Structure formats: C-alpha cells, structure tokens
C-alpha cells in the first residue's frame, strides 16, 4: 500500500504540473475564449491536484483502517474462510436414478 500511495503521489504531481503548464501557456498566449477556458482549466487542475494529493490518501487510509482492519472479510462476518465444495449439477445428472 505504501508503494502504491507513493506512486500515486508522484503520478498526480507530474500529471497536474504538465496540465497546469499547458493551460498556463494557453492562458498567456491564447486570445478571448481560449484564455477563459484555460483559466477555468487552471482552477480545475489546482483543485483536482489538491484533492488527489492532500485529501484522497488520508481518506483512503481512514477507509482501509475502518473497513479492513487486518481481519479477513470472511472472519469478520463469521463465515468460514473457504466454503465447503458443493456438488455440481453435472455430477448429479451422472448418478443413476432409483
């Protein structure tokens, strides 16, 4: 989990920086509607980057600790870890009728 969180952090920062740089250039060199669109994109990229970098990882850890506190899901519900094998329909069809 730690490795995947670190990879997600690096990927989010690089993606956000790339998109922000592109839309910033569009905002500087664009005209009229392009500048308006680029400004809206810049705001969205900043909010999205903040969300994915600072809000998502703590939320993920909270959920994973609350729901999956190191106990197998079957044991939490009081079920056996592996269910008993059931007879298949084909094996019942092969049995002779009485």
Residue 22 belongs to a domain: yes
Report the C-alpha gap between 42 and 30 in whole angstroms.
14
Residue 91 belongs to a domain: no
Write out the two tokens for 86.
Answer: 């059931």
Report how many domains make up the chain. Answer: 1
Domain containing residue 47? 2-70
pLDDT digit string (tens) for 5-19?
A: 788 889 989 999 999
**Residue the block writes with tokens 């190191």:** 70
pLDDT digit string (tens) for 30-86?
A: 999 999 999 999 999 999 999 888 888 788 888 888 887 766 555 555 555 555 555
Residue 96 belongs to a domain: no
Residue 89 belongs to a domain: no
Report the C-alpha gap between 69 and 67 in whole angstroms.
6
pTM of the entire predicted model: 0.58
Helix/strand/coil for 82:
coil
């Amino acid at each position: 989990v730690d490795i995947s969180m670190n990879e997600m952090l690096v990927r989010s920062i690089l993606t956000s920086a790339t998109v922000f740089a592109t839309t910033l250039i569009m905002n500087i060199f664009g005209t009229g509607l392009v500048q308006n669109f680029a400004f809206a994109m810049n705001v969205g990229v900043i909010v999205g980057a903040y969300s994915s970098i600072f809000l998502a990882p703590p939320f993920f850890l909270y959920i994973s600790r609350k729901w999956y506190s190191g106990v197998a899901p079957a044991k939490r519900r009081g079920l056996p870890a592996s269910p008993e094998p059931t007879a298949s329909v084909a094996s019942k069809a092969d049995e002779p009728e009485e």
